[in-house]
Structure 1
């Protein structure tokens, strides 16, 4: 759901007065309305000098929610959508593709979680390179640090290309043009960019966007999770559900990375906590043996690959990822 401020231009009732009233009660996004005591909010609006306008604003927000609700679909319609529109995109690494029965699925939010230097960024860079090369698809690549490496993209493209191909240079140029990189440093900027992307995807005219990568989601969300308030968790949930909506409605393969933090007894666990772990469709755990410099992958969660894989702790050597993050 959108931040209230982003709705002001299109909906004049959601002006600064309405936003300030909502902010004073911990409401910053449309989603916040869904978890707030609305009867209490209406009562508080009654006590305000601008009560009439505030109640009209509340009604306007509910109208926005109603308009954004998707029609109900039966099982057959959902199955047809999956079979016709939700494809599997190769990552460019044969072992990862074999492990995931084809690669990364469109319509899914896939999370790569692991400690530093476990190969998360390398998987993202290789997948971006392959999608741009093999499918001629545009890749939106959002970075929160300095993780994007154009030189690494060049290496991946050259590894995947036929040395005898005289069109190698033009292929490389096309790949580089198809990968659109943005630097994003906080959750608020991320939400703004995702909403802009949502609107622009409705009128795709040339190269279709096939993949969205955020490296890393945890570095953007973690700073707002401190304290006992629910605001940070609401922002995290907003970002998560917006990513899933983008994936489903536009048939995108969305990939995010997440780091590890210390848990009970010093055992490492994925960052962002219990509230986040149920948001991604797929969770993949990466680790690396620093002696052999070989990364491994296991499944924490996957809707199509039964839990047998995770329960058996199936590990896959990723020899194609020889350079650490």
Structure 2
């Protein structure tokens, strides 16, 4: 169910949108299933103009068949793999984040979801020289934190500033603002966000559940519809613009007490890949406090339930710290 919005097709302006809503026509489905002649009369618009809008909306929101061979050729020509910057996480993801797909990181408070997103954004902007759109719905992202991570990558101030310029940040705290932002990006905002010679290759939403979960359950029937709209625009944007979408999700407990990603069964079909992050309790005082366990719980490429451990401090390592980390890895192996 797609909610009608101003400008989603030629002729659908604010005045007509008000009249349609007054006639209890709020979605594309409502409009295309209505009697066009009667609706034109109710909304004081010409039958011909409304018929043209109806045809455009049908073309935009109707699925057309495509052969498997064409789909495979398109996949081969368009998919790119973006390294997260962390070898353990890349191995779990079968080399990294895939463009055209949605990857989800789920975990409880303190599991490191946001820290991983910060690290991925910094790695793509500095190492890969590509632009990133970062949508922060929790208020957890600061320019200071990104700069701190970049300072461990390079001491060159110009390089730090250039990398920061390639990270476009949106702070949005409700699902309606999130939808407006995503629709805007899909309608041309992604090209505008490309700076410094690199195109946008990743869109990060941290967190998608923070703005959706309050609307689910109880009497909030619209919550499910809004969630599906967020999923739909993320999917089409990832595919149409060849970007990797990375989202974070909270966790809940099943009836048996098992930790599982939030947002329910309907959302579970949306991400192509899902990873559960958990804190690893240190066995001794010398163990790194930033150690996290990552479990692959959904994938079309790798066996599910394989695990990896990594240190959240990886993305903030200095050259000296990186050398120490390599020595530790060699000792542990």
- Residue matched to 1:252: 243
- Aligned equivalent of 1:236, options 227, 230, 234: 227
Is 2:6 aligned against 1:6?
Answer: yes
- Residue matched to 2:94: 101
- Residue matched to 1:316: 308
- Residue matched to 1:221: 212
Structure 1 residue 137: Cα displacement: 1.1
Structure 1 residue 48: Cα displacement: 11
Structure 1 residue 246: Cα displacement: 0.4
TM-score of the aligned structures, taking structure 2 as reference length: 0.79
TM-score of the aligned structures, taking structure 1 as reference length: 0.81
Is 2:125 aligned against 1:137?
Answer: no
- Residue matched to 1:19: 21
Q: Contact 1:201/1:250 (CA < 8 Å) preserved in 2?
A: no
1:30-49 matches, cutoff 5 A: 30=28, 33=29, 42=35
1:58-73 matches, cutoff 5 A: 60-61=53-54, 63-67=56-60, 69=62, 72-73=65-66
Q: Contact 2:9/2:57 (CA < 8 Å) preserved in 1?
A: no
- C-alpha change, 1:184 and 1:235, in structure 2 (3 Å) is same
- Work out the CA distance in 2 between the residues paired with 1:298 and 1:179: 28
- C-alpha change, 1:203 and 1:157, in structure 2 (3 Å) is closer
- RMSD of aligned residue pairs (Cα, Å): 3.1
Q: Contact 1:295/1:321 (CA < 8 Å) preserved in 2?
A: no
- Residue matched to 2:177: 189
Q: Contact 1:110/1:281 (CA < 8 Å) preserved in 2?
A: yes
- Aligned equivalent of 1:302, options 296, 299, 303: 299
Q: Contact 1:218/1:258 (CA < 8 Å) preserved in 2?
A: yes
1:151-300 matches, cutoff 5 A: 151-161=144-154, 168-201=156-189, 203=191, 207-228=198-219, 230-291=221-282, 292=287, 293=289, 294-300=291-297
Structure 1 residue 189: Cα displacement: 0.7
- Work out the CA distance in 2 between the residues paired with 1:154 and 1:47: 55
- Work out the CA distance in 1 between the residues paired with 2:39 and 2:198: 53
- Work out the CA distance in 1 between the residues paired with 2:245 and 2:8: 28
Q: Contact 1:8/1:15 (CA < 8 Å) preserved in 2?
A: no
Structure 1 residue 263: Cα displacement: 3.2
Deviations 1:147-200 (A, max 9, x none): 113333234334444x7xxxx322211110000111101111111111111111
Task: Report which stretch shifted further, 150-159 or 237-246.
Answer: 150-159
- Work out the CA distance in 2 between the residues paired with 1:319 and 1:246: 31
Deviations 1:72-120 (A, max 9, x none): 4433332232222211001111111122221111111111111111111
Q: Contact 2:110/2:279 (CA < 8 Å) preserved in 1?
A: yes
Gaps of 5+ in 1: none
- Work out the CA distance in 2 between the residues paired with 1:101 and 1:8: 37
Gaps of 5+ in 2: 316-333
Structure 1 residue 229: Cα displacement: 5.2
Structure 1 runs, 4 residues or longer, greater than 6 Å off: none
Aligned residues: 303
